[in-house]
Amino acid sequence: MNARLLASVGALLALASFSAAADTLLVDRVRAERSMSAPRRGMTMSQVERTFGAPSEKLTPAGGDAPRHPTINRWVYPSYIVYFERDHVINSVAQRATPTEIGPKAVQQQ
């Protein structure tokens, strides 16, 4: 019986430490995104390229198949990805809060 109790307590402690690490990671990501120098909402593609340089990669556009589904473009820079609706920035998102961050796997291009 003691072995089961110890195993249960060990499992709860492991879950608690995992939860604390996840909370810290979220805080780190929010801090990184707030402090990064990245394109801001409303900038045009030409303004972004003039201000921040050429992206390391321009991903395949998505959408654009109907007026209600505008074309979404994604430009990859070393520390963030810029999302455009048609040719205007809608968001810039940090790729990683720290070099050691472990997060969801990247989406594979088809």
At 31-52, the pLDDT tens digits run 666 667 889 999 999 999 999 9
Residue 19: the pLDDT is 47
27 three-state secondary structure: helix
Question: 33 vs 18, which has greater pLDDT?
Answer: 33
73 within 8 A of 84, measured Cβ to Cβ: yes
**pLDDT-based confidence at residue 55 (cuts at 50, 70, 90):** very high
The rounded mean pLDDT for the chain is 77
Q: Give mean pLDDT, residues 3-30.
A: 55
Closest by CA to 72, choosing from 62, 81, 80, 82, is 62
Q: In what order do the strands lie in the sheet with 80-85?
A: 57-62, 72-76, 80-85, 88-94
Separation of alpha carbons 58 and 75, rounded Å: 5
- Check residue 17 and report its DSSP letter: H
104 within 8 A of 82, measured Cβ to Cβ: no
Residue 93: the pLDDT is 86
The 10s digit of each residue's pLDDT in 79-110 is 889 999 999 999 998 876 566 666 655 656 65
- Check residue 43 and report its DSSP letter: -
Residue 95: the pLDDT is 77
Q: Give mean pLDDT, residues 14-43.
A: 66
Parse the chain into domains and list their residue ranges.
Answer: 2-94
